[in-house]
Amino acid sequence: MLDKTGIAKRIAKEVQDGYYVNLGIGIPTLVANYVRDDIEVEFQSENGVLGMGPFPFDGEEDADIINAGKQTITTLPGASFFDSAMSFAMIRGQHVDLTILGAMEVAENGDIANWKIPGKMVKGMGGAMDLVASAENIIVAMMHTNKRGESKILKRCSLPLTGVGCVKKVVTNLAVLEVTDKGFKLLERAPGVSVEEIKKATEGTLIIEGDIPEMSL
């Protein structure tokens, strides 16, 4: 079974040379730490920066240079700043190659829910609805089940949706799944996790074809 870092490491392998990537808050943010260093990738943050670098050194933080999580950041050579409309032009116009974000639920039809739990304080969707409605390539980073052990990989989402039919791939603590017309196709198992365990933790239709390899990190 993977921890959050493990999920980030596995997703990092999906990032290819020349990609512009938008990372959501939480596990997706960790992905930046594990991208191969022999490829060129630029990270976009929807508040208006392309070419994000690491956190600043203590004393060098600048209130005018933050990421979408409102954290102080730095920029790398070649970086650019822009306004919010242009930022979402990059996203909506499909100039960003890969979007990695978290989810509360995903469904076998590609629906995703990650912004609202009825009855609880709603903080808002931020840029998530724009990202999922537009991106060609969306990978979801999430835990396979909730704290009560109930599946979050479903036939249909029960929570209010963020986007419909948009998720392409899901990386959880247990498995890598591809969203297909017929359901979730099991691509890889997490280290030490059996197909049986994945079946038990998945409420949505699970397609298992042949031997399922264990993922390498």
Partner 1 sequence: MINKKVNSVSEATKGISDNMTFMLGGFGLSGIPENAIAALVKSGVKGLTCISNNAGVDDFGLGLLLHQKQIKKMVSSYVGENDEFERQMLSGELDVELIPQGTLAERCRAAQAGFPAIFTPAGYGTEVAEGKETREFDGKMYVLEHAFKADFAFVKAWKGDAAGNLVFKGTARNFNPCMAGAAKITVAEVEELVPVGELDPNQIHIPGIFVQRIFQGEKYEKRIEQRTVRTRE
Using the minimum distance from each CB to partner 1, give the nearer residue, 65 or 187: 65
Q: Which of 14, 61, 178, 197 binds partner 1 (CB under 8 A)?
A: 61
Which residue, 148, 193, 157, 156, is CA-closest to 172?
193
d(CA 162, CA 56): 33
d(CA 181, CA 58): 49
Q: Are 216 and 207 in contact (CB under 8 A)?
A: no
214 belongs to the catalytic site: no
Using the minimum distance from each CB to partner 1, give the nearer residue, 3 or 136: 136
Q: Which of 7, 11, 46, 143 binds partner 1 (CB under 8 A)?
A: 46
Measured CA to CA in angstroms, residue 95 lies from 50, 65, 91, 99, 130 at distances of 12, 23, 6, 11, 13
- Tokens 């990059």, located at residue: 90
51 binds partner 1 (CB under 8 A): no
What is the per-residue binding string for partner 1 in 63-102, x denoting contact by CB under 8 A?
A: xxxxxxxxxxx-------xxxxx-xx--xx----------
Q: Which of 37, 78, 123, 196 binds partner 1 (CB under 8 A)?
A: 123
Rounded least distance, CB 181 to partner 1, Å:
16
**Contact region with partner 1 (CB under 8 A), list: 32-40, 126-134, 142-150, 170-178:** 126-134
Which residue, 168, 175, 163, is CA-closest to 214?
175
37 binds partner 1 (CB under 8 A): no
Exposed, middle or buried by CB within 10 Å (0-12, 13-18, 19+), for 165? exposed
**Contact region with partner 1 (CB under 8 A), list: 59-67, 137-145, 172-180, 194-202:** 59-67
**Set 46, 108, 188, 203: catalytic member:** 46
192 binds partner 1 (CB under 8 A): no
181 binds partner 1 (CB under 8 A): no
- Tokens 């909730």, located at residue: 146
Instruction: Calculate ∠ Cα 141-144-149, nearest 5°.
Output: 145
Instruction: Give the binding site for partner 1 (CB under 8 A).
Output: 45-49, 54-73, 81-85, 87-88, 91-92, 111, 121-130, 133-134, 160-165
Q: Which residues are identified as catalytic?
A: 46
